[in-house]
Structure 1
Amino acid sequence: MVYRLPPEVLQKIFCNINDCDLYPCVLLVNRQWCANAVSLIWRETLNKPMGIPSYYKLIQIYVACMPNGSKTLLKNAGIGPTTSLSNTVTLFNYASFLRKIELTSIYEAATLWVSANSGSNSRLKRLGRFDLDSLDNVNGNDPEIQKYEQMQELFYRELLKLFISLCPSLRYSIIIRNVIWKGELQYLRNISDIIPTSSHLDKLGCYTSCPSDIFEYLGSTFSSLDQLDIDCRYDDNDGLASFIDKVDSLQSLTIKRTDNCIPKIIKALRDKVKSLSCLHIMNGGLFPLDMFSHCQNLKSLKITEEPDRIWRDLRREFEEFEENFLEPFIKSSAFKQLTIIQIEIDDTINIFQLATIIRNTNGRLLELLLKWIYEDDTDNENLLYLAIIENCPRLVKLKIPTTSETIRHLPSIFRSCTQLEKVDVLGLEFKIEISELMALLGQTISSKLNSLHFDSCFRVTTDSLNVFLELCCQRSISCLDLVFQKAEDWFSCEQTHLIHHHMELGTLNVTSNMCWFNEIEFHDIFGVWPY
């Protein structure tokens, strides 16, 4: 019987189930399933965004797992209620299940717990990241503040010691968020006393404006690093440059560029980028792209803009993508391993260079996500689509801008790229009529396609939509997530009826599109555009 499967088999099965689905599916089946599922669900609990109550409850459970010596130490320091520090025994030793921890998230969760359980003055309850108003008129020499900081430090240390003692192979990452006040990164200055020397760091996310000595402490603790994310602010950071120098190699690099010069960091990175498999460049700026022209192991290349719209608008005034910014990536001898290309900018792009990059991938591309506003070589606008048709047989995800001329290549793309599962089509013109193409699209889309999204520029007639849906039905296309953004502006009652009819037939996805119809109203047909 299934419930008698050995633990190692259950673990392999459960590893392929999302934690949110795993929780209700197996926890109540029997004790064996529960024990195996719990160990997976609790692998990296504090690394995920969650509300303050959830953080508090998690820390409460981990406190119950602490040895009596730690509980006594905390109690003597005035931290925590008596019930939390009693000899409470949990059903499982949840702390022993941890496999990955992010040190900043743990510190924030620990700070929350201390602020709620230290009996401190209400003015200090939210000292730190959680209430900026509490930082007004803060005097760092205030004895009460110093005592509060010592409580935080002590609790954080005991929490880390618990995790490390129970999980010798623990994996670490550090995401340094906005530094609000100078004492906020103290928790990183003392980790060398707790975390074993020469440990491996999975990921470091930081600003060039972070205090330089922070990176010296990290360098004395961690000897290797996989992923580095740098937000280039105003400073050329000696400590960060030195830390990069000590790292043997990098697998992944994300750079958020600015117009400020950071020569020391650039020099340190030049010797490390050849080993990169993933590169993400954000924003225009002075950071030189030619240093990446020989990254022959690169599998993922992403060039995008600031995701935060406010910051993006502010930066755009002085940081634009340089002309021919793709030129370093068009060498035929490099970039043959690329499987993911994402180039999404509200700027100008060179179609010839982009098509050249695609041709050089030797048919390996799985994801191609593109977005731009202008083309500086409109005479070559068809080259890109021909490059996709001829060189992307394995493509699974495609996002592509089109005009009323280039949209005609879409059926040919479907014929050639038979593995496509998700396609997003953007319009570079105000209004693009695609009624004449709907029959061809219905004849050429693969049964593997589960999502076809058009943005608000595209229009279809009732007859052409009917032809498309009937062809999909005849070809046994099922559960297709068909989306026209802002269709409420132009969709007719007849088109609404067609959509309902093919939902009932199973041609269109009912579950994901239940929000399409709210009485007569549509919601971005129908859904929110995901980008």
Structure 2
Amino acid sequence: MSYQVPVECLNEIFEHLDDKKTLYSCLLVNHFYCKISIRILWRNIWRDIWCSRFIMTYNQFLRVSSSILSTLFACLPKESKELLFKKGIFISTPTSKPPMFNYPSFCKVLLIEKIFLIISVALQKIPNTKNRNYLVINEVIKMFITQISSLKELSYSYYDDTYIMDSDDISFTYFSGATDCLTNLSKLRCSLSLSSKFFYYLSKICHNLQSLNIVFGLGITKVPNELKELISLQNNLKDLKITAACSGDWKDIIPSLTKHSNTLTKLHLNNVFNDNLSVSFIALFSNLQEIKFSYSTRNFGEKQFSDFEKLQNVNFPKLQYFNIPYHCTKPEYVMKFLENNGKNLKKFVIKEEDCALNLSTAKFCPNLKNLSIAIRCDELDTLRIIFNSCQYLESIKIWCGVRYLSDKEVLETIAIHSPENFCKLKIYNDSLSKSKLLPEDLESFFISWKNRPSKKSFTLLINKTYSSSSISLEENEECMKIIKKYKNLGIIKKFETKFREKI
């Protein structure tokens, strides 16, 4: 007699599948497995497609965009199809039969600008494309709004890459059903370019945002009062990201954030082509657990945040994650900040190539579990000191290359000096580096790792830029034989080499 696993058990199992390929394979098992997998895959169908587009050719992305659009078109209600057909827009569907599932109803995430780009790409050969793009996107969004019972995440920005979207031509908040769909929205990404009516509408119905991502600038610097009202009305805002692009400045919005001084736990400030933005207001949020700074700049070498000096003596008793990029501020300010806040840090990302600052990490951050760091080629002792001082360290991300330590030096140091719980290494190869690892070096390292008392499997991840001249281990047959050997023995948990875009 056959036995059917209860749907609750399968749901729980499928939810914990990390590999999307496995979920896709489950689609083919039977209708029962297919239904559960489809619900999970369509929850955020845009995420995996968007991550994959950077390794797709344009023609591949065009095929994917057309495939998604044809599926969405098949799900459109009859009246929407008839409207588009009258306007000369006909999109072929995968089959002549009705869709097996109501795919839009499974979505919990809407990325409006991504949907717009997919439609723009898929319909680019149709004449009068701009107006027809908006006709299609309005009908598609209307379908999502009426079919999704409770949207969790919304991203709505006016542009993406070379496709500029006019938000005034999208009637997003005025579709019937939008109120029910958006009431429990918990994550919002938006830009100042959106109509003030959009922010006004959300301020009336969305009071449970936990994550807010706002893009300032791009030609618009005035913060709408409706956005300030939306921010002030949130009940439990925890996660805030602010991007100031070009002439944008976040100072006008700071008074609206003060209400959330007790609830805000994550803050990410991103400076894009701006100079000397103020960050001292961070002192208002004493309960922060995560602080991240990032930037792009026209004036490389300049200090990007004008008043970080005022933060060096501020205490954040709950801070566990701190990320500060290269030339963000003076190293001595960061060292003083670590002296006051390093004890509780579990994760630290530092890209400043400063020996004293790296050594202060070892001195002031004894409880680190994850560290990302750049150590110059003549400072190998710094890595040894960090390993000896940070006895809870589990993983490290480290630059390797001409100016930095070699991958061979890093592995040798890990084999001898890494603490008991250490088990993960991620190497960033710079654009000029060539790997110095030989098969015998790998063999020696994994023999040492096998004999460690902890018996933890090792994870090795290697990233290199597209312009890198380095030869990856995957291209070295002898090295790959060793990798395979120790994978089979359970010594290696995961090995991966992949490209990343040059920073």
Name the TM tier (shorter chain): 0.7 to 0.9
Which is worse superposed, 283-292 or 293-302? 283-292
Change (3 A) 1:453 1:63: closer
Correspondent of 1:277 among 265, 274, 290: 265
CA deviation after TM superposition for structure 1 residue 498, in Å: 8.6
Q: Match of 1:98?
A: 107
When the two chains are superposed, the root-mean-square deviation of aligned CA atoms in Å is: 4.5
For residues 164 and 186 of structure 1, do their structure 2 counterparts lie closer, same or farther at Cα, with a shift above 3 Å needed?
same
**8 Å contact 1:439–1:471 — kept in the other structure?**
no
Pair 1:244 & 2:231 matched: no
Where do residues 7-406 of structure 1 align in structure 2 (5 Å cutoff)? 7-18=7-18, 20-46=20-46, 48-49=49-50, 51-80=61-90, 84=93, 88-111=97-120, 122=127, 124-125=128-129, 127=130, 149=131, 151-178=132-159, 184-194=166-176, 195-196=178-179, 199-208=183-192, 215-216=199-200, 218-219=202-203, 222-225=206-209, 226-239=211-224, 241-247=225-231, 248-249=233-234, 250-257=237-244, 263-272=251-260, 274-283=262-271, 285-306=275-296, 312=297, 314=298, 316=300, 320-322=303-305, 325=308, 327-328=310-311, 330-332=313-315, 335-346=316-327, 348-351=329-332, 353-354=334-335, 356-357=337-338, 360=341, 362-363=343-344, 365-373=345-353, 378=356, 382-388=359-365, 390-392=366-368, 395=369, 397-403=370-376
AA aligned opposite 1:251:
K
Q: Does the Cα contact within 8 Å between 1:438 and 1:468 map onto a contact in 2?
A: yes
Offset at 1:368? 1.4
Q: 2:448 aligned to 455, 471, 481, which one?
A: 471
Question: In the TM superposition, what is the alpha-carbon distance from 1:36 to its structure 2 partner?
Answer: 1.3
The offset of 1:529, in angstroms, is: 9.0
- Classify the secondary structure of the residue corresponding to 1:293: helix
CA distance in 2, matches of 1:529, 1:442: 30
Aligned pair in 2 of structure 1 residues 187, 107: CA closer, same or farther (>3 Å)?
Answer: farther
Write the distance in 2 (CA, Å) between the matches of 1:56 and 1:88: 18
Whose radius of gyration is greater, 1 or 2? Answer: 1
SS where residue 349 of structure 2 aligns?
strand
Residue identity opposite 1:349 in structure 2:
K
The offset of 1:5, in angstroms, is 1.1
Question: Does the CA contact (< 8 Å) of 1:252 and 1:279 recur in 2?
Answer: yes
Q: What's the CA shift for 1:345?
A: 2.0
2:239 is aligned with what amino acid? Answer: S
> For the Cα contact (< 8 Å) 1:176–1:206, is it kept in 2?
yes
TM-superposed deviation, 1:340:
1.9
Stretch moving more, 288-297 or 346-355: 346-355
Q: How many residues align?
A: 468
Q: Secondary structure at the match of 1:275?
A: coil
Q: Among 481, 486, 490, which residue is 2:460 paired with?
A: 481
**2:417 matched residue in structure 1:** 444
| Aligned CA distance change for structure 1 residues 528 and 280 (closer, same or farther; 3 Å) | closer
Deviation at 1:387, TM superposition (A): 1.5
1:344 is aligned with what amino acid? P
Change (3 A) 1:529 1:260: closer
1:480 Cα deviation from its structure 2 partner? 4.7
SS of 2:214's equivalent in the other structure is: strand
Give the partner amino acid of 2:76. M
Would you say the 8 A contact 2:109–2:153 is kept in 1? yes
Q: Residue 453 of structure 1: which of 404, 409, 427 is its match? A: 427
CA distance in 1: counterparts of 2:499 and 2:86, whole angstroms:
55
SS at match of 1:174: strand
Aligned amino acid, residue 451 of structure 1: L
- Secondary structure in 1 aligned to 2:101? coil
Measure the CA separation in 2 of the matches of 1:84 and 1:297.
51
Gaps of 5+ in 2: 54-60
Q: CA deviation at 1:37?
A: 1.2
C-alpha displacement of 1:303: 0.9
Q: Is the 8 A contact 2:27 2:37 kept in 1?
A: yes
AA of the residue aligned to 1:106: I
Q: Deviations over 1:320-349 (max 9, x none)?
A: 3246615426422xx222232211224553
**Which deviations, in whole Å up to 9, do the C-alpha atoms of 1:273-325 show, x marking residues without a partner?**
5532221122363542121103133222111222xxxxx3x2548x6324661
SS of 2:213 mapped into structure 1:
strand
Q: Residue 408 of structure 2 contacts residue 441 of structure 2 at CA under 8 Å; is this kept in 1?
A: yes
Range 283-292 or range 4-13, more displaced: 283-292
Number of the residue aligned with 2:56: none
The offset of 1:459, in angstroms, is 9.9
Which 5+ residue runs of structure 1 have no aligned equivalent? 128-148, 307-311, 516-525
Q: Which residue identity does 1:367 align to in structure 2?
A: K
TM-score (norm 1): 0.71
Is the CA contact (8 Å cut-off) linking 1:274 and 1:294 kept in structure 2?
A: no
TM-score normalised to structure 2 length: 0.75
- Mapped contact 1:433–1:459 kept (Cα < 8 A): yes
Query: Could you give the per-residue CA deviations for residues 344-392 of structure 1, whole angstroms, max 9, x where no partner exists?
Result: 22455324644643653553x33211101458xx5x763322112x333
Q: Is the 8 A contact 1:399 1:424 kept in 2?
A: yes
C-alpha distance in 2, partners of 1:453/1:410?
Answer: 14
State the distance in 2 between where 1:293 and 1:89 align. 56
